[in-house]
Amino acid sequence: MLDLKLIRQDPKVIEKKLQTKIPEIDLSSIISLDSKIRELQTLSEQLKSKLNSISKEIGLKKQKKEDASSLMENVEGLKTEILKLENELNPMEEERTKLISFLPNIPMDDILVSLNPKDNVCVKQIGEKRTFSFPFKNHVELNEKLKLFDFERAVKLTGNRWTLYTNMGARLEWALLNYMLEIHIKNGFVQIIPPLLVNKTIMFGSGQLPKFKDQLFHLKDEDYDLYLIPTSEVAINGMHYDEILEEENLPLKYVSYTPCFRREAGAAGKQERGLIRTHQFNKVELFCFTKPEESPQIFEQMVSSAEEVLQGLELHYRNMLLVTGDMSYASAKTIDIEVWLPGQDRYYEVSSVSNCTDFQARRSSIRYRKKQEKTNFVHTLNGSGVATSRLMVAILENNQLEDGSVIIPKVLRKYLNNQEVLKPV
């Protein structure tokens, strides 16, 4: 949520910055509505002040045993006017909040202005693309003999874009999760396991509602009104909803593993079959609450921790600083970490690290207290550390041998009884 005071101070400048993300944004309706609200609020305060004065006068007259009936009639009239104003103000304030809640976060000043993802800036590249001396296979073709996933039975169980992991596929997935958690815990992140369902207030706080309601799985009946989390970022942000944190306890650095659930609307193309884009996927998430002046440093720490995962797996990847138009709704700065997938002949994001500044904190009322000072909003940062589905694709496709076997990365073997190779069944 943007600071309304910031919008009031210079609406044209803020509008221009927001249009670097979404060109259609127009703040005129918000400014107009806010002006009407402030006029009515001023009138309400004047009436309340008048009411207080008359009430005091009534008290004095009663002490002197004088007639105060005419003043009491005025009081009733003022109360009616104030109530009428409040009834008029409430829906207007709700509408103003709703309009502001659809506005994205403001990009940082050093972010390249563009609406084209092709303009994203490569700030780092590690390793090189794998070259093959034989006709290589994509992960779906490799799976025909490795038998790691049963896509057909997943369709029978649930439908398209769901995955059933079997035998070594399930074990390799679990090895990846353990490997990643160990790295992040070593790097100072505290592990948590949050609920997979949260209420609409928590969804609003993280920025998922109301804008992205069509992308969420919603469970609603006579007993429940809850949402499956699209990422554990939602639940971790909500942990400290409406709290005041102590400055000496910051930063708070969390890591969690959860399944994530997304509708992913639209038909899957040939490049997005198998594990590339699914409704349910596993992800290790990094999330931090910090003081504003420390958020740039925490951002770099989170990127580094996610990179360590890929470096240990010896995968070729690149870091892309996203342009304004490719950043997420809540982000002020984002670096995507992309791995090379030979079977898709392109890079795919496996981690996205974002500094959301005070955007989520304002929506969630998460503040911190400095000694002898008033409270301030924290900064929140989130990042995948990382999502396993595309990482699994990268491991299989980049480590394949001519006979369809796949070399297991050395860092994962200790979780798999020191097995070195996945062989066709």
pLDDT (tens digit per residue) in 20-75: 999 999 999 999 999 999 999 999 999 999 988 888 887 777 677 777 677 777 88
What is the pLDDT, as a whole number, of residue 33? 98
Reported as a single tens digit per residue, the pLDDT across 286-342 is 999 999 999 999 999 999 999 999 999 999 999 999 999 999 999 999 999 999 999
pTM above 0.85, yes or no: yes
Task: Note whether 4-101 and 117-422 share their fold.
Answer: no
Confidence grade of residue 267 (pLDDT, cut at 50, 70, 90):
very low
Please provide residue 105's backbone torsions phi and psi, each rounded to the nearest 5 degrees: -70, 155
CATH number for the region 117-422 comes to 3.30.930.10
State the distance between the two ends of the chain, measured CA to CA, in whole angstroms.
Answer: 53
CATH number for the region 4-101 comes to 1.10.287.40
Reported as a single tens digit per residue, the pLDDT across 226-239 is 999 999 999 999 99
pLDDT at 265 over 70: no
Long-range contacts for 66-73 (Cβ within 8 Å, ≥24 apart)?
Answer: none
Where in the chain are the domains?
4-101, 117-422
Cα separation values, 401 from 70, 285, 421, Å: 96, 32, 10
Q: What percent of the chain has pLDDT over 90?
A: 88
What is the pLDDT, as a whole number, of residue 136? 96
CA 209 remoteness from chain centre: 11
Instruction: Tally the residues of the chain.
Output: 425
What is the pLDDT, as a whole number, of residue 406? 98
The stretch 381-397 carries a mean pLDDT of 97
Distance CA 208, CA 194 (A): 17
Structure tokens at 305: 């921790």
Number of helices followed by number of strands (H, E) in the chain: 12, 16
Reported as a single tens digit per residue, the pLDDT across 239-262 is 999 999 999 999 999 999 999 999
Q: What is the DSSP letter of 164?
A: -
pLDDT at 118 over 80: yes
Structure tokens at 274: 């198998």
Query: Are the beta carbons of 358 and 345 closer than 8 angstroms?
Result: no
User: Which residues have CB under 8 Å from 267's CB, separation 6+?
Assistant: none
What is the pLDDT, as a whole number, of residue 14? 97
For the chain, what is the mean pLDDT?
94
What residues act catalytically? 262, 277, 349, 352, 390
